């Protein structure tokens, strides 16, 4: 089986009692890619990732990982997918060595040599007690446990939280080396949008349980542009579909335009003058779309 999608969500819906509803979400993490998932707090990023591992059941839709259904072929999915998240807690195993011994037993592909290399690179000692580790070091431990058996798909829920600059650098260089092998993929959620902009190929923006923009970063940054213009006094222009107002001072407008729904020419048709356009950063796009 050699599917082109590492992870595929098809119209997935999840209702959480009493009122939060996620979806319907459709997204596709291609093999050989780093897919970044961003969204404000409470948007449903962790819920979406948890669904892959059956930490809660989906109400509608289907999830496939490497071509396997996440419910029917639960074990096959988990044999190919590793998870790192802030809620994973290995305290109960006492020392780092014990945690490694426990987890390694479940994976025949566990690579001790690679595990030691990662420990050295991320500066973590086997003899340390997990309870005495800092938050960042705990994340490092989760990363080591996830990477050491060379999974096909890595699901990382906010792995950069608590990591210092060196740690982040080491993490992303490891992730890049993971996706060098084109049959593997990384699905990562993070609030560090600038990091994702540098390292990820694809991005999905989740807001209030809905996927509001998704695709290759390059395509998204081409599709959305920053535009400044002098407008007319009426409000008709502000109601144009695909236009997101960033700032307005009198007749001076600064907007982000979704060129898929609103061409630059339509602004002038509505009376805009001195139209100036420029590229947008991912962070700006995120703020505008989730405002």
Chain positions contacting another protein, by CB under 8 A = 17, 53-56, 74-75, 78-79, 82-83, 85, 87-93, 102-103, 105-107
Judged by CB, which is closer to another protein: 48, or 221? 48
Contact 63, 51 (CB under 8 A): yes
Considering the complex, what minimum distance in angstroms separates the CB of residue 120 from another protein? 24
- What distance in Å separates the CA atoms of residue 268 and residue 230, rounded to the nearest whole number? 10
Q: Is 71 helix (H, G, I), strand (E, B) or coil?
A: coil
Judged by CB, which is closer to another protein: 81, or 160? 81
Judged by CB, which is closer to another protein: 102, or 222? 102
- What distance in Å separates the CA atoms of residue 166 and residue 116, rounded to the nearest whole number? 18
Considering the complex, what minimum distance in angstroms separates the CB of residue 82 from another protein? 7
Helix (H) or strand (E) holding 39: none
- What distance in Å separates the CA atoms of residue 209 and residue 58, rounded to the nearest whole number? 13
Q: Given phi > 0 = left and psi -120 to 50 = alpha, else beta, which region is 232?
A: beta
Judged by CB, which is closer to another protein: 109, or 169? 109
Judged by CB, which is closer to another protein: 60, or 176? 60
Considering the complex, what minimum distance in angstroms separates the CB of residue 38 from another protein? 22
Contact 32, 91 (CB under 8 A): no
Contact 284, 208 (CB under 8 A): no
Considering the complex, what minimum distance in angstroms separates the CB of residue 89 from another protein? 3
Contact 5, 61 (CB under 8 A): no
Considering the complex, what minimum distance in angstroms separates the CB of residue 150 from another protein? 14
Q: Are strands 20-30 and 5-16 parallel, antiparallel or unpaired?
A: antiparallel
User: 243-249 long-range CB contacts below 8 Å, 24 or more apart?
Assistant: 244/288, 244/289, 244/291, 246/284, 246/288
Judged by CB, which is closer to another protein: 103, or 257? 103
Considering the complex, what minimum distance in angstroms separates the CB of residue 131 from another protein? 11
């Amino acid at each position: 089986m050699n599917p082109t999608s590492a992870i595929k969500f098809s119209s997935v819906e999840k209702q959480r009692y009493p009122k939060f509803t996620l979806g319907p979400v459709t997204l596709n993490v291609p093999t050989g890619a780093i897919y970044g998932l961003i969204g404000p707090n409470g948007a449903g990023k962790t819920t979406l990732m948890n669904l892959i591992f059956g930490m809660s059941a989906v109400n509608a839709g289907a999830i496939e990982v490497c071509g396997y259904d996440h419910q029917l072929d639960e074990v096959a999915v988990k044999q190919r997918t590793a998870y790192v998240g802030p809620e994973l807690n290995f305290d109960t195993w006492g020392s780092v060595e014990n945690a490694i011994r426990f987890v390694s037993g479940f994976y025949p592909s566990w690579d001790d040599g690679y595990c030691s290399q990662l420990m050295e690179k991320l500066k973590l000692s086997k003899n340390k007690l997990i309870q005495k580790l800092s938050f960042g070091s705990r994340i490092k431990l989760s990363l080591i446990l996830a990477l050491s058996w060379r999974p096909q798909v890595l699901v990382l829920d906010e792995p950069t939280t608590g990591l210092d600059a060196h740690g982040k650098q080491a993490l992303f260089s490891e992730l890049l080396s993971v996706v060098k092998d084109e049959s593997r993929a990384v699905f990562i959620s993070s609030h560090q949008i600038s990091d994702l902009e540098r390292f990820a190929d694809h991005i999905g923006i989740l807001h209030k349980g809905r996927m509001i923009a998704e695709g290759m970063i390059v395509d998204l940054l081409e599709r959305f542009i920053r535009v400044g213009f002098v407008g007319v006094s009426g409000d008709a222009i502000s109601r144009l579909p695909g236009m997101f107002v960033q700032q307005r001072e009198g007749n001076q407008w600064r907007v982000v335009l979704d060129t898929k729904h609103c061409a630059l020419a339509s602004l002038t048709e509505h009376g805009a003058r001195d139209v100036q356009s420029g590229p947008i950063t991912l962070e700006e796009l995120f703020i505008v779309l989730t405002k």
